[in-house]
Structure formats: C-alpha cells, structure tokens
C-alpha cells in the first residue's frame, strides 16, 4: 500500500507526529534561533540572594525590611580578623585602615572584644551600602593594606552567595553529565542515542535558563539547582521515546518508526509528566514565596523539556537513524527474576515490616529538628567565607543584630525605651539617637535652651537667642518667639543641623575652631540621622547576647515586643532572629498546605490514569512512606534540617518518585491479564527495572552531588535530602510495592471504575480442545480466535467459548475427523 493510503489511515496523533518528523529542518532552524537568543538572555535575569524577600508581605520582618529600605541607610560593614599579630601593631593598622578612602570608621579598642589570643578584630564601616561600589572598592583597599597577614574577612560587603553558587553548580553539572553518560551507556540500546538525548536536554536546559528573564528576578535557590533538577527529573521522557523508537525500528523503516514511536510516546510521556507537574504545582501555594519561585521555574523546565522531546528529538532520531542502527549493543541491564521471585516469597513478610517503618517514619519525621536560619547548619564542603565566619565567631563570638523601629518625633519616649532595653541582660549594646553622646555629656536628643547652647558652643547668649529665633521661625513655632525664648528647648541634633545649614547659606559666621567643630559634627550627625532617623520611624539598633535561632531567642522576641508596646502602639522588630521566627510560623502552614495539595493533585492524576480508586492509594502510601522515612534521618542522626529542604524535597519526591511506582503498576495491571499474579509481579519488575534504575540513579546522583559539592547550607540540604529520598523510594518501589500489589489485588479489582471484571486465568497442560477467543500464554503469547486442538501448556483468559480436555486418541471429532497425537 502506498504512503498516501497509509497517511489517510493515520490517527490524528500519528498525523501530528508525521508533521513534526517531516518538518524537522524547520524545527532545527527554530531551535537554533532560540538557542542563540537564550545564550544572550540568560544574563538578563537578576538573582536574589535574600530569602527574607520571599516572606509573606504581612509578616513583621517583611514589613520592617520594607520600612528600613525606604527610610534608612544601612552602611556596609566587615568584621576582619587578623591572626598572629601584636596588639600594638594592630592598633597602628586600625589607624591606617581608618585613613583609607571609602572607610567611614574602624572600631578597635584593644579590649577582649577586639583583641584576644594574638588575634585582632577590626569592625569596619564603609561610606556606602553593602553593594555600593564605594564600599566594594574600599574593601579591596583594606585587603591590599592587610596583604601578607593571616586574614579572615566576614560581613555583608563583598559577599555574594549567587556567584559562589554559580561556580559550584557548574562543577556539579559537569560531574552530573559524566554520571548520566555512564548510566545511559549502561542502560541504552545504542551508543548513538546518547548524543541525541544530551542534545535534546541541553537545548531544553538552555531554553529554561534563557527564559527566566521573563520573571525579572529569580531566587538563588532556583538559579542554582534548576538545571540539574531539570535534567534529573525529565530525562525519563527522552528515554521513553528512545525505547519506543528502538522497538518500532525492528519492524519499520526509520521515518515510520519515529512517527509511530512519537504518536505512542506523547500520551505516555504527558501522563508521566503530570504527576511531576502536580508536585511542583503544589509548591506554588506556599505562603513563603520561594516555593512559588522554584515551583514555577521547575514547571517551566518540565514543559520546555516536553516540547524539546516532542518537537526536536524526533527529528534528531530521524537524522541520525543510520548511525543509531549501526551502534547497537547488547543490553547491560541484568534480568532481576530472582529478585522478583524473592518479592513473591516475602509477600507476607515485607508488608508488615513496611507498616512498622511507615508508623516509625511518621512519628520520627514529625520530630524532625527544623531550623529556619543557616547559622546552625553544616555542609560537607566549606568555602572561604564560611571558614572565615567560623574563625571570627569562634574567637570573638557571633553578632546577632536586631532593629526596633518606632514612630519618629518623640525623643523622650525613645530615651525611656532605650533605658529599659539597656537594663536587659540579654542585650549587649543599644544604639539610638536618644543615647548617642554628642559633647560635654549631652546626648543628641537632649533639649537645650539658648543659654545652654551658648555655654556648650562658646557663643554669645544674644547670638544664641537670635539663632533660636531663626530656628523657631523656620519651624513656624511663632509662639515661642512671643512667649520668650529663654525656656525654648531644641534637640541638640536638630539645632546643630540647623546651624550648619545657616553657615552653608552664609547667614551665620562662627570662629574658625567652632566652624571646624560644627563641620565635623555635621558629618557624624548626618550619618547618625541616615541610619537612625527616617521620615516616619526612628531605628534603635540592638546587639543581642543570644544566638540567632534558639527557643530562648524566640522567647526574648516576645519580651522585646512587650517593651516596645509599653510606649508605642505601632512598632516593628526586625533582624535575622525575627526572620527565622516568621519563617517558622510560615512553615507550619505551608507544610500542611503542600502535603495535602501534593497528595490530592497526584491522586487525581493517578485515578484518571488507572481508572481505579484503590491502586492510587496504594501507590501514594508507598511514596508517602518514603517521604516520612527520609525525614526521619535528621531526627535519628540528631542533625538540624533546613525547613525549605522538607518543603521542596517532599514535593519533588511525591511528584517525581511516584513515576517509579507507576511504571511497575502499569506493567502489573497489563501482565496480570495474561498470566498468574505471581508471574505478573516477577515480569513487571523485570520490565520496569531498566527505567527505574536509569531515572533513579540520575536523580539520586544529582541530589548527592548538590549535597556534597555545594557550600550553601540551604542548597546542600536540599541535595542531601533529594538523593537520600530517591534511594529510599527506589528501595520501597522495588522491595515493598510488588508485595503490596500482590496482596492488594482484590482491592485494586473491586475499586476499578470499569464494570468489566477480569476473566479468571485457566491453566492446563497436555492435550486440550480450544473453541473461542483466547488471550494469554499458550506456550507463548496468543491473542486470537482459536478453534481446534492444542498440545502444550495454556495459561490464559478465555473471553468466549470454552476450554475442554481433548477426547482420547482415535475418537471421532465433530465433522467426522479423528484425534491425532
């Protein structure tokens, strides 16, 4: 039959597949253009290093940070430890550093806070914010000045997590590709399909990274792990199409084989991707915005991977079909029949053990020691910044800074609050406008009368009165001029700033010494005002003698709120400790939402896939068990776990690892129609093993690489949990699920939506008569209408007609014939 007649008989899916294959050169041009564009657009995406920016808008930390960004300037700082240095030399160095351009101040007083065990600690403040070029250039000057010393640099200036993460992930990606190559060499059918797979996913990864600019900004979490996870999560789709093509190529020409393979693979791959997309989609419902950020990026990655597999890979298979044909090799994946038979024999042993593990996993995972900051986390590798931080904190202790913001304008109330805070033993230092000494025992917010100001500045009293008059007029406080100026008190801060303005405008002339004093004070007062006084709020800066994250710290936050609430109705407490507390509150809600939505979404997909309500529950039970067992390890090993690791990994584990269970369940539901249940379990494991070992090894390896090579605690924690969780899922799917399917077959059958019951399998060996439609094994597979005698073995469902023992030799058969041996 000619090609035209074949095309007329094609299904809509086959016609779509034929279009993709026949127009492959057009798709090549399209992808080349997209690749060039994405190579440039990849650099357009901003990367956000700050997890607190993803906090819900209504949290106190997020509101407080917004106020600080709008109303205050936070100068960049560094804590620099110089080891093995005499104290006298350290003092001289402090003076050299303070003289550097861009350095605002250097704190070094020779006390134990700054000199201990032969080590000096310089607390440096720069003229700009942490990411201002002025501060970065000043930091470089500081490092150059200290060149040759044993140096440890910490602080918010010049410390970019995203840059170090990028370098680490490039190493992870290279090693991951090597591992994937080795796995594919082991599990593939031909050598040439491996470059096709890598080209397909290289393009998908480039498209995903190059389209991130559409979001404007993404988190450093998404930017660092998206490519590796995309490759690990979506490689299955390409492998499915490759295997389909190999099967069809045995009986068809290359073009027809690709068309038929693609038409069969599209529904299968789309169905497989739905569970992964469901798990990732559930992350988007997190109140903590990092979930939506990572979920959307990874969902986009999966969709683009699907498009690459459906529209680019078929053309590549067609174009390289001759090379693929010539590079076939024998399968290196062993048959695991022995493992399958062991699963059958242990069907009454393993499920009870699993129930015990399930209950234990549920209990222990609920006791998991979650943390919400990164100070208590450790990584297998440490970067230079982490080593420096440990050295500084180990020698001089850590710094836990808290800002309390209160409505501006009432210096007296600020002063009372500051004195209350200074009396608290949990607070090391307190800084606010109302406790900064200006000169001669006066603080910046003290109200001075004209006579007091004249005595302080050596001004003539009448000149001071004229100055106060001008200030009152400037502030439109005309009543003070009328009622008398002698009792008029003006905060010292405001008056000095007013004096400086009058000098600049030429309305006031002071002697040389006083002019110099006012100019020096103006610099200090301006800095203090920028940091501590905003348009609507004043900022009080506290140094706590408590760790960043602990039950005692969280309890003390309530004490701070009570202290501020004593004087103000509107106030904000902000810092790393409050951020951790808000994250813990957000986690409690997100944990429930993610867990419920992930299971609901995945169950819906499975119900439509298997047309059964019982089978999805059994599959979910196995994978949920793997999640609980996975997150029991931190509790049993007494290791802290970053909360984000649980939210991300539990979603990926449920959404992606469920595919392993689906592969076995699919094979089992098909094979049990053709053979006894025990044989169906054994054969299901044999058929599913290559897919599971390929996908599972790649995902587990990707997780392990991220966990071992990343120095970022949050990223490393995600990798460790993902790698461990994938291995646990593989073990449960291969070692527990077969027994559950075998014992739960009655539930599966009775919960099926179809009204047609599975016909019982009939087994017979010897001479027999068949008359009807047979589907099953008859010394090999038979699916046909059969009338006649069979000498052999049958194990099949008789959909119509009957199976009877054959009459004895020589008997007269219907139609007048005789039985023959």
> Which pLDDT score, from 0 to 100, does residue 160 have?
65
For residues 701 and 514, which has the higher predicted lDDT (pLDDT)? 701
Contact criterion met (CB below 8 Å) for 218 and 297:
yes
Residue 782, pLDDT > 90, answer no
Residue 793 has pLDDT above 90, yes or no: no
Question: Residue 81 — pLDDT band, cuts 50, 70, 90?
Answer: very high
340 pLDDT higher than 70: yes
Write out pLDDT tens, residues 239-288. 888 888 888 888 889 899 999 989 988 887 887 788 888 888 888 888 88
Nearest to 536 by CA among 559, 561, 568, 563: 568
Q: How far is CA 755 from its chain centroid?
A: 44
Q: Are 32 and 326 in contact (CB under 8 A)?
A: no
For 241-245, the CB contacts below 8 A with 24+ separation are 241/265, 241/269, 241/309, 241/313, 241/314, 241/317, 242/188, 242/189, 242/193, 242/196, 242/197, 242/317, 243/189, 245/317
Task: Read off φ and ψ for residue 574, nearest 5 degrees.
Answer: -135, 140
pLDDT 10s digits, 18-30: 999 999 999 999 9
Check residues 776 and 640 and name the one with the higher pLDDT. Answer: 640
pLDDT of 651 > 50? The answer is yes
Q: Is residue 780's pLDDT more than 70?
A: no
Residue 2 has pLDDT above 60, yes or no: no
Output the CA torsion 728→730→732→734 (10° steps). -160
List C-alpha distances in Å: 337 to 340, 341, 663, 732. Answer: 5, 6, 17, 17
Residue 304 has pLDDT above 50, yes or no: yes
- What is the spatial distance between Cα 429 and Cα 422, in angstroms, rounded to a whole number? 7
Mean local confidence (pLDDT), 598-618: 82
Instruction: Give the residue-averaged pLDDT of 293-304.
Output: 91
- Locate 663 and state its tokens: 């592969």
pLDDT, tens digit (0-9, with 9 covering 90-100), for 110-125: 788 899 989 999 999 9
Per the prediction, the chain carries an average pLDDT of: 84
Classify strands 119-129 and 103-107 as parallel, antiparallel or unpaired: antiparallel
Task: Specify the DSSP class assigned to residue 190.
Answer: B
| Lowest pLDDT segment from 238-247, 303-312, 316-325, 800-809 | 800-809
Q: What is the pLDDT of residue 764?
A: 61
Q: Rounded to whole angstroms, how far apart are CA atoms 543 and 561? A: 16
Q: At what angle do helices 24-41 and 12-22 cross, to 10 degrees?
A: 70
pLDDT, average across residues 479-502: 79
pLDDT of res. 797: 58
Query: Which residue in the block uniquely carries the two structure tokens 């054969």?
Result: 683
How do strand 442-443 and strand 437-439 relate by DSSP bridges?
Answer: antiparallel
| Contact present, 761 and 793 (Cβ < 8 Å) | no
Q: What single-letter DSSP state applies at residue 612?
A: B
Residue 815, pLDDT score: 44
Q: Residue 94: what pLDDT?
A: 92
pLDDT in tens, 350-380: 899 999 999 999 999 999 999 988 888 888 8
* Residue 502 clears pLDDT 90, i.e. is over it: no
pLDDT tens, residue by residue, 244-254: 888 888 888 98
How far is residue 773 from each of residues 669, 674, 763, 813, measured CA to CA in Å? 20, 13, 15, 20
pTM, two decimals, is 0.79
| 704-762 per-position pLDDT tens digit | 988 888 888 888 898 999 999 999 999 999 989 999 988 888 888 887 775 444 555 55
> Rounded distance, CA 580 to CA 290, Å?
15
Distances (CA, A) of 110 to 89, 107, 394, 520: 11, 10, 18, 25
Q: What is the mean pLDDT of residues 22-51?
A: 91
Distance, CA of 332 to CA of 563 (rounded, Å): 70
Instruction: Of 6-10, 495-499, 507-511, 585-589, give the lowest mean pLDDT range.
Output: 6-10
pLDDT of res. 772: 60
HSE-CB at 712 with a 13 A cutoff on CA atoms is 26
Per-residue H/E/C for 40-59: HHHHHCEEECCHHHHCCCCC
Cβ contact 227:208 at 8 Å: yes
> What span, in angstroms and rounded, lies between the C-alpha atoms of 321 and 333?
23
Residue 627: how many other CB atoms lie within 10 Å: 25
The Cα–Cα gap between 804 and 820 comes to: 16
625 Cβ contact list (under 8 Å, min separation 6): 354, 357, 358, 361, 732, 736
CB 169, CB 227: distance < 8 Å: yes
10 Å CB burial of residue 37 (0-12, 13-18, 19+) is middle
How far apart CA 413 and CA 402 sit, in angstroms, is 19
- Work out the burial of residue 121: count CB atoms within 10 Å of its CB; fewer than 13 is exposed, 13-18 middle, 19 or more buried: buried
pLDDT digits (tens, 9 = 90+) for 656-682: 788 888 888 888 888 887 778 888 889
Q: Would you place residue 235 in the very low, low, confident or very high pLDDT band (cuts 50, 70, 90)?
A: confident
Show Cβ contacts of residue 735 under 8 Å, excluding neighbours closer than 6 positions. Answer: 343, 350
Place of tokens 């392990």: 704
Q: What is the pLDDT of residue 80?
A: 93
| Element of type H or E holding 39 | helix 24-41
**H-type alpha helices, 657-762:** 658-671, 677-709, 713-735, 737-743, 745-750
d(CA 521, CA 492): 11
pLDDT of residue 697: 87
pLDDT of residue 280: 86
List 81's β-bridge partners, or say none.
Answer: 121, 152
Which H or E element spans position 379? none
How many of the other CB atoms lie within 10 Å of CB of 390? 14
Q: Could you tell me which residue, 769 or 217, shows the higher pLDDT?
A: 217
Instruction: Output the pLDDT for position 814.
Output: 43
> Tokens representing 577?
């400790």
- b/e sequence 446-469, b meaning 16+ C-beta within 10 Å: bebbbebbbebbebeeeebbebbe
pLDDT the model gives residue 376: 82
What confidence score (pLDDT) does residue 354 get? 92
Evaluate whether 735 touches 350 at the Cβ level (below 8 Å). yes
For residues 38-67, average pLDDT: 88
Kindly tell me the burial class for residue 506, based on how many C-beta atoms sit within 10 Å of its own C-beta (0-12, 13-18, 19 or more).
exposed
């Amino acid at each position: 039959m000619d090609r035209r007649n074949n095309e007329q008989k094609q299904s809509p899916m086959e016609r779509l597949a034929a279009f993709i294959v026949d127009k492959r050169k057009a798709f090549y041009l399209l992808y080349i253009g997209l690749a060039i564009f994405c190579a440039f657009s990849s650099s357009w995406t901003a990367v956000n290093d700050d997890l607190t920016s993803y906090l819900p808008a209504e949290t106190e930390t997020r509101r407080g940070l917004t106020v600080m960004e709008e109303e205050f300037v936070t100068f960049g700082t560094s804590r620099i430890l110089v080891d093995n240095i005499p104290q006298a030399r350290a003092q001289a160095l402090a003076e050299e550093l303070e003289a550097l351009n861009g350095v605002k101040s250097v704190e070094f007083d020779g006390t134990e806070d700054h000199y201990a065990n032969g080590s000096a600690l310089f607390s440096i403040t720069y003229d700009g914010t942490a990411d201002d070029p002025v501060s970065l250039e000043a930091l470089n000057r500081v490092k150059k000045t200290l060149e040759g010393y044993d140096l440890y640099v910490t602080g918010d200036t010049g410390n970019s997590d995203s840059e170090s993460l990028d370098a680490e992930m490039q190493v992870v990606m290279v090693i991951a590709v090597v591992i994937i190559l080795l796995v594919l060499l082991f599990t593939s059918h031909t050598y040439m399909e491996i470059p096709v797979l890598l080209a397909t996913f290289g393009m998908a990864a480039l498209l995903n990274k190059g389209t991130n600019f559409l979001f404007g900004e993404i988190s450093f979490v998404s930017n660092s792990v998206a490519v590796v996870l995309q490759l690990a999560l979506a490689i299955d789709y390409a492998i499915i199409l490759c295997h389909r093509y190999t099967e069809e190529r045995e009986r068809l020409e290359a073009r027809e084989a690709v068309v038929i393979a693609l038409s069969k693979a599209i529904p299968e791959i789309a169905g497989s991707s739905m569970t992964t997309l469901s798990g990732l989609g559930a992350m988007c419902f997190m109140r903590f915005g990092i979930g939506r950020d990572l979920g959307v990026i990874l969902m986009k990655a999966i969709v683009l991977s699907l498009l690459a597999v459906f529209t680019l890979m078929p053309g590549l298979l067609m174009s390289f079909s001759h090379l693929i044909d010539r590079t076939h090799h024998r399968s290196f994946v062993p048959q695991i029949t022995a493992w399958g038979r062991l699963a059958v024999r242990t069907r009454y042993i393993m499920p009870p053990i699993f129930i015990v593990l399930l209950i234990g996993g549920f209990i222990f995972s609920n006791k998991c020691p979650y943390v919400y900051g990164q100070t208590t986390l450790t990584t297998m590798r440490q970067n230079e910044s982490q080593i420096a931080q440990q050295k500084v904190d180990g020698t001089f202790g850590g710094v836990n800074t808290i800002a309390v913001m209160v409505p501006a304008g009432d210096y007296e109330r600020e002063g009372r609050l500051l004195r209350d805070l200074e009396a608290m033993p949990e607070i090391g230092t307190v800084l606010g406008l109302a406790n900064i000494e200006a000169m001669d025992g006066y603080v910046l917010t003290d109200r001075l009368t004209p006579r007091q100001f004249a005595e302080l500045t050596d001004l003539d009293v009448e000149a001071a009165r004229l100055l106060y008059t001008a200030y009152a007029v400037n502030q439109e406080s005309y009543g003070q001029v009328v009622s008398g100026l002698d009792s008029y008190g003006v905060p010292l801060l405001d008056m000095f700033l007013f004096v400086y303005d009058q000098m600049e405008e030429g309305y006031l002339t002071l002697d040389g010494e006083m002019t110099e004093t006012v100019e020096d004070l103006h610099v200090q007062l301006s800095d203090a005002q920028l940091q501590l006084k905003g348009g609507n709020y004043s900022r009080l800066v506290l140094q706590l003698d408590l760790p960043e994250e602990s039950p005692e710290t969280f309890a003390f936050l309530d004490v701070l709120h009570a202290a501020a609430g004593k004087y103000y109705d509107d106030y904000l407490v902000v810092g790393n400790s409050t951020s951790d507390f808000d994250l813990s509150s957000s986690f409690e809600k997100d944990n429930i939402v993610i867990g419920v939505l992930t299971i609901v979404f995945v169950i819906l997909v499975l119900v439509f896939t298997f047309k059964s309500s019982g089978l999805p529950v059994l599959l979910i039970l196995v994978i949920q068990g793997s999640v609980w067992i996975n997150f029991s390890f931190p509790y049993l090993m007494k290791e802290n776990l970053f909360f984000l690791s649980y939210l991300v990994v539990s979603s990926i584990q449920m959404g992606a690892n469920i595919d392993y269970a689906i592969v076995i369940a699919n094979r089992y539901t098909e094979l049990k129609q053709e053979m006894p249940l025990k044989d169906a379990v054994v054969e299901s494991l044999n058929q599913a093993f290559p897919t599971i070992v390929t996908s599972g090894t790649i995902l587990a390896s990707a997780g392990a690489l991220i966990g071992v090579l990343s120095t970022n605690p949050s990223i490393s924690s995600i990798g460790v949990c993902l790698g461990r969780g994938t291995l646990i899922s593989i073990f449960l799917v291969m070692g527990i699920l077969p027994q559950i399917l075998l014992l739960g077959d009655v539930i599966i059958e009775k919960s099926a939506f179809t009204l047609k019951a599975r016909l019982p399998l009939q087994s017979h060996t010897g001479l027999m008569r068949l008359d009807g439609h047979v589907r099953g094994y008859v010394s090999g597979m038979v699916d046909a209408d059969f009338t006649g005698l069979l000498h052999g073995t049958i194990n099949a469902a008789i959909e119509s007609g009957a199976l009877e023992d054959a009459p004895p030799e020589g008997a007269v058969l219907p139609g007048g014939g005789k039985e023959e041996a």
